[in-house]
């Protein structure tokens, strides 16, 4: 039985943990964070209540370490203008990272160094929550 070189390369890449296509969206966020202290990371649809005031959300989900552990909220909006408008309408109470054309990640109970590192890996800009106009 002959195995092609391509098949052998794909099998080796899979065994070594290489990812063969670029990660995007929530999958990318999940893989730039260190979840090593978690026995499970669960994906939940939706996000914090304030995001109901964000028009233009195309995709949103929350990743949670076990049931009550650290979590991140991911949202992709239709454009950078829609993202800016959403943040003006209801800014997160936690530090967040804006990156890409219209994506953002809100960090809940994630250590500062991990926030900075993951936002940097995403090519984003880490922002602090606004203290004015708290709900």
Closest by Cα among 40, 30, 29 to 69? 40
Full-model pTM: 0.79
**Confidence at residue 77, expressed as pLDDT on a 0 to 100 scale:** 95
User: Could you list the pLDDT tens digit for every one of the 135 residues in the chain?
Assistant: 455 665 655 455 445 455 454 577 899 999 899 888 889 999 999 888 888 889 889 999 999 998 778 999 999 999 999 999 999 999 999 999 999 999 999 999 999 999 999 999 999 999 998 765 544
Angle among Cα 71, 73, 78 to the nearest 5 degrees reads: 170
Q: What angle (nearest 5°) sits at the alpha carbon of residue 113, between those of residues 80 and 44?
A: 55
């Amino acid at each position: 039985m002959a195995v092609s070189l391509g098949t052998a390369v794909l099998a080796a890449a899979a065994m070594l943990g290489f990812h063969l296509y670029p990660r995007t969206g929530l999958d990318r966020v999940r893989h730039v964070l260190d979840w090593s202290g978690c026995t499970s990371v669960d994906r939940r649809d939706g996000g914090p209540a304030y995001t109901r005031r964000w028009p233009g959300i195309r995709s949103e989900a929350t990743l949670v370490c076990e049931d009550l552990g650290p979590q991140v909220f991911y949202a992709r909006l239709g454009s950078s203008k829609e993202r800016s408008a959403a943040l003006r309408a209801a800014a997160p109470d936690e530090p967040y990272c804006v990156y890409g054309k219209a994506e953002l990640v809100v960090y809940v109970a994630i250590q500062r160094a991990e926030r900075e590192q993951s936002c940097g890996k995403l090519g984003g800009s880490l922002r602090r929550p606004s203290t004015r106009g708290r709900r």
